[in-house]
């Protein structure tokens, strides 16, 4: 906006560094699926054409006046599967779903108990490509290579569109936490049983996956020139597991990843779904300014601020339900409260609770963006 005293990047990084920006940065998690809904494009189109996914995202960005940084949005669901971001069976609109339904993940027990040892011995990437991916899909090697090329081309198009608008991606490097990835592959109930009955087997796989992940994430973040790496976790919280499980299977590996990245001046962006209320105190142990916690609306962001005030940046958490079923006045009121109570002394990025929903009301999304950009 014309009266902004900082550029978008200056504002975002001042906030991450726990300084006070000229205003609260605004960064909604706008993925291709909600972009399609707001742009009036079918889910089938953005799920089967990288250029359509990019076009829908920037159509929304332009229509709603833009915001401070933008989420990567150039992928297709099948490419998330092929690259191991979602190592699960999948249904895709326009293929085996109706055109207007977002892609669906089918959680079944694909990984077997003996696969932990294969991961520990071979490394995740080799196991995934040589054996596991064939259990998920009947894609040929040529098909897989084609998906990778299309994803690369989509990424190049996304960056070109960013450059046209002088806007930067919030991040480009990203990965799933090893704990979360194993949970998806094994499925929730068998994985939980393994934590209790085969703990050493699970720990061996987590050890190898963490050791392999750290240099790859650092290389990725340094290679793209944006020193933020997203680490997604949706199942390790106190909503599902006791502190003993959290402390043994999640927290030590998390600390290693964050500290390794921080030693290279890379900030870890945690995408934390489900309620982490019981786990917030642990994040106080991380180096000051080394992480951003992106909360999904089920964690109490106001309580989290009290625990982490002046220590880590928070991002969130306008709920999907509010954007889908609320009114612009309700959205504005909640954004004002977030900016006042969580962002009053800095260290806060206004964003969505998880993603913008595919059925977000346009007037509610506009209220969020405009409220965030107008308040000082």
**CATH number of 228's domain:** 3.20.20.210
43 is a domain residue:
yes
The H or E element that residue 350 is part of is: strand 348-352
Residue carrying structure tokens 């796989």: 205
139 is a domain residue:
yes
3 is a domain residue:
no
pTM here is 0.96
- Other CB atoms closer than 10 Å to residue 241's CB: what's the count? 20
271 is a domain residue:
yes
Angle value at C-alpha 296, between 222 and 342, nearest 5 degrees: 85
Tens place of pLDDT for every residue, the chain, 376 residues? 556 899 999 999 999 999 999 999 999 999 999 999 999 999 999 999 999 999 999 999 999 999 999 999 999 999 999 999 999 999 999 999 999 999 999 999 999 999 999 999 999 999 999 999 999 999 999 999 999 999 999 999 999 999 999 999 999 999 999 999 999 999 999 999 999 999 999 999 999 999 999 999 999 999 999 999 999 999 999 999 999 999 999 999 999 999 999 999 999 999 999 999 999 999 999 999 999 999 999 999 999 999 999 999 999 999 999 999 999 999 999 999 999 999 989 999 999 999 999 999 999 999 999 999 998 7
247 is a domain residue:
yes
Q: What is the predicted pLDDT for the residue at 1? A: 52
DSSP string, 52-103: HHHHHHHHHHHHTT--SEE------HHHHHHTTSS-SEEE-BTTTB-TTS--
**CA proximity to 350, closest of 329, 330, 334:** 334
2 is a domain residue:
no
What is the count of structural domains for the chain?
Answer: 1
Domain membership of residue 230 as a residue range: 8-374
């Amino acid at each position: 906006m014309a009266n902004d005293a900082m550029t978008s990047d200056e504002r975002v990084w001042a906030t991450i560094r726990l300084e006070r920006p000229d205003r609260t940065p605004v960064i909604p998690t706008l993925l291709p699926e909600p972009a399609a809904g707001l742009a009036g494009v079918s889910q089938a189109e953005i799920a089967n054409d990288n250029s359509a996914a990019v076009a829908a995202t920037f159509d929304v960005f332009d229509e709603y006046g833009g915001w401070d940084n933008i989420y990567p949005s150039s992928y297709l669901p099948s490419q998330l599967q092929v690259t191991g971001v979602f190592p699960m069976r999948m249904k895709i609109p326009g293929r085996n779903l109706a055109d207007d339904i977002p892609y669906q993940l089918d959680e079944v027990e694909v990984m077997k108990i003996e696969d932990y040892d294969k991961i520990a011995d071979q490394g995740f990437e080799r196991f995934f490509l040589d054996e596991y991916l064939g259990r998920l899909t009947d894609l040929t090697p040529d098909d897989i290579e084609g998906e990778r090329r299309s994803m690369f081309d989509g990424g190049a198009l996304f960056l070109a569109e960013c450059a046209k608008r002088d806007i930067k991606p919030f991040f480009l490097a990203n990965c799933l936490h090893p704990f979360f990835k194993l949970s998806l592959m094994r499925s929730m109930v068998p994985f939980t049983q393994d934590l209790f009955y085969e703990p050493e087997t699970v720990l061996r796989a987590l050890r190898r996956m963490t050791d392999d992940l750290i240099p790859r994430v650092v290389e990725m973040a340094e290679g793209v020139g944006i020193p933020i790496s997203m680490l997604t976790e949706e199942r390790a919280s106190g909503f599902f597991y006791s502190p003993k499980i959290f402390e043994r299977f999640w927290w030590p590996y998390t600390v290693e990843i964050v500290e390794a990245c921080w030693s290279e001046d890379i900030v870890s962006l945690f995408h934390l779904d489900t309620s982490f209320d019981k786990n917030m105190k642990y994040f106080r142990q991380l180096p000051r300014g080394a992480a951003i916690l992106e909360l999904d609306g089920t964690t109490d962001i106001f309580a989290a601020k009290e625990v982490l005030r002046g220590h880590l940046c928070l991002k969130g958490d306008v709920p999907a339900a509010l954007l889908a079923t609320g009114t612009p006045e309700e959205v504005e009121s909640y954004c004002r409260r977030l900016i006042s109570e969580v962002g009053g002394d800095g260290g806060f990025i206004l964003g969505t609770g998880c993603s913008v929903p595919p059925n977000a009301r346009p007037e509610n999304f506009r209220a969020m963006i405009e409220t965030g950009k107008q308040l000082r």
